[in-house]
Amino acid sequence: MDRSGDAIGVFDSGVGGLSVLRALRAELPHEKFVYVADSAHAPYGERDDTHVILRSVAIARSLVEQHQIKTLVVACNTATAAAIKQLRQSFVDLPIVGIEPALKPAASQSQTKRIGVMATRTTLNSEKFRTLMASLHDQGRFVLQPCDGLADAIERDDATKIIAACADYTRAMGRFGSEADELDTLVLGCTHYPFAHAVLRAQVGDSVAFVEGGAPVARQTRKLLAERGWLAPAGAAAGPDPVLYATGNADNLQAAVQRWLQWPASVQTLGML
């Protein structure tokens, strides 16, 4: 079956997955995208695994049934950690790409081998993350920082709380810089956090490298589609503007698209999903 013209589904608990959608559009400019922000249940990082699994399966089912998506991108570290195994069991014929904190590329590029990791508490406590950490035990020293409330502050565009949270959490991790005993790399382990880039940069200085997961996710999505012959034709016109949905109030998503991505967008509400 030729599915090259079908859309790619992307979801997150809120606006954070827009950082992944941005990377996907850059890597796959001819594709169609449908994005769901589960804003009625955000942020996932402060929910239990059962809740995140139920929401993830419900959103995936809606994207499959209503939009006939050809692949699903879980643009949320928390949802990937909690739900991707269940998603793959529930939708066995659907290629699914998850995201995880980019520890491997961070370890490979760090010179001091001291790496800060900012993520939600749920992500850091997950079995998936612990397995990832164990695989890298000899490749660097990772300083893990749960960032309670930061994703929610970014979701609400609360500048005061964003600045305060970034200051508190970077201070708690220790000294940043390029000296041997300093953290020279910072992993942004939640898709919301790239949208606090400028605030974090002001806290840690210009010498620290930031690593996020959007680009690797985009490359993996391309690989899976290419293997199946489902890529949109390279000679085709640029893909249309993404179709954007929110399960709750659409205002945050609408504002985030305009503020951070400068895309023309109209966000629709998904009612009783």
DSSP 73-101: EE--HHHHHHHHHHHHHH-TTS-EE----
Same domain, 218 and 89: yes
Which of 196, 211, 226 is the C-terminal boundary of a domain? 211
- Catalytic site residue from 28, 60, 76, 102: 76
Give the pLDDT confidence score for residue 237 in this predicted structure: 74
Give the pLDDT confidence score for residue 6 in this predicted structure: 96
Same domain, 12 and 43: yes
Give the pLDDT confidence score for residue 197 in this predicted structure: 95
Establish if 81 belongs to a structural domain: yes
Integer Cα distance of 156 and 19 in angstroms = 16
Same domain, 109 and 205: yes
Which of 211, 230, 248 is the C-terminal boundary of a domain? 211
Give the pLDDT confidence score for residue 219 in this predicted structure: 96
**Closest to 21 measured CA to CA, from 38, 35, 1:** 35
Same domain, 176 and 223: no
Same domain, 224 and 95: yes
Q: How would you list the strands of the sheet with 114-119, edge to edge?
A: 141-146, 114-119, 185-188, 209-211
Same domain, 46 and 66: yes
Which of 162, 177, 211 is the C-terminal boundary of a domain? 211
Averaged pLDDT in 10-residue chunks for the chain of 273 residues: 93 94 96 95 86 96 97 96 96 96 95 97 91 94 96 92 98 97 97 95 97 95 97 82 92 88 82 66
Establish if 17 belongs to a structural domain: yes
Establish if 1 belongs to a structural domain: no
Both tokens of 258, joined, read: 């305009």
Full residue range of the structural domain in which residue 203 is found = 103-211
- Catalytic site residue from 150, 190, 250, 256: 190
Judge whether 76 counts as a catalytic residue.
yes
Establish if 3 belongs to a structural domain: no
Counted domains in the chain? 2
Bridge partners (DSSP) of residue 73 are 10, 97
CATH code (residue 15): 3.40.50.1860
DSSP classification of residue 80: H
Give the pLDDT confidence score for residue 263 in this predicted structure: 82
Judge whether 147 counts as a catalytic residue.
no
Same domain, 14 and 84: yes
Integer Cα distance of 237 and 208 in angstroms = 38
